[in-house]
Amino acid sequence: MASPLTKKILILDFDGVITELNLPQDLAKATFPGILGRILSKCLGLVEDKLRSTLIKPLRMFVEFRSALRVLPCSDVEPFLKVADYPIYLASMQTGIVLDYFLRKHGLKKYFKEVISSDRFRTKEAQIRYIINLEGKARYLLVDDSEWNVSHLASLGIKTFLLKRQQKQTLFDVYFN
Ligand SMILES: [Mg+2]
């Protein structure tokens, strides 16, 4: 067993990290049809978690499923998961059934120590706190594509890494020391 000083725990986001989904845009367009949805979709990245938690679950699941069916995992994901030598959690505001379906379909579920969805914790912060309580003293790294998550969740005493898929960054660019 790794000592607390060397124990490392990696926490990955789903949308924008495992896939190139952009759920804030899809949710805005589904909730507010027409031009209002298109306008809102441009500025919702900052409040992604809050938006999701305010939607009724059936609508959220419908949009999430529809989106998850049309995307693949990013090409670097499985190669990275195969070689990463520390426990990896998936922490996502997606509903659990969507995550489970996607990860099983693409053979990725086995790489995660635990998959944590919005069914159990309604905020990303609560998800991270759960992992910290579970694992205890360790070095944690959250990889997320949300600037809000990366800047605010660092206050929990964890390292954060903003993954920019649009700039062709991959999980192999993640810096964990
Ligand atoms: Mg994301």
17 alpha carbon – ligand 1 mean position (Å): 6
1 alpha carbon – ligand 1 mean position (Å): 31
* C-alpha to C-alpha distance for 104 and 114, rounded to whole angstroms: 13
149 alpha carbon – ligand 1 mean position (Å): 9
Find all residues with CB under 8 Å of 103, minimum gap 6, and list them. Answer: 90, 109, 112, 115
* C-alpha to C-alpha distance for 161 and 173, rounded to whole angstroms: 10
Find all residues with CB under 8 Å of 168, minimum gap 6, and list them. Answer: none
pLDDT tens-digit profile of 25-49?
A: 666 666 677 777 666 666 655 555 5
13 alpha carbon – ligand 1 mean position (Å): 6
Greater pLDDT, 57 or 7 = 7
152 alpha carbon – ligand 1 mean position (Å): 14
| C-alpha dihedral (83, 86, 87, 90), degrees to nearest 10 | -60
23 alpha carbon – ligand 1 mean position (Å): 8
146 alpha carbon – ligand 1 mean position (Å): 5
29 alpha carbon – ligand 1 mean position (Å): 17
Identify the bridge partners of residue 73 per DSSP, sorted by sequence position.
19
**Residue 94: pLDDT above 90?**
no
Q: Which two tokens stand for residue 71?
A: 């995307």
Confidence category of residue 51, pLDDT binned at 50, 70, 90: low
Q: Which domains does the chain have, with CATH numbers?
A: 8-19+74-173 (3.40.50.1000), 23-69 (no CATH)
Cα end-to-end distance, the chain, whole Å = 18
The pLDDT > 70 percentage for the chain reads: 79
75 alpha carbon – ligand 1 mean position (Å): 17
Greater pLDDT, 9 or 95 = 9
3-state secondary structure 50-114: HHHHHCCHHHHHHHHHHHHHCCCECCCHHHHHHHCCCCEEEECCCCHHHHHHHHHHCCCHHHCCE
31 alpha carbon – ligand 1 mean position (Å): 19
Cβ–Cβ under 8 Å, residues 114 and 89: yes
84 alpha carbon – ligand 1 mean position (Å): 20
**b/e sequence 136-157, b meaning 16+ C-beta within 10 Å:** eebbbbbbbbbeebbeebeeee
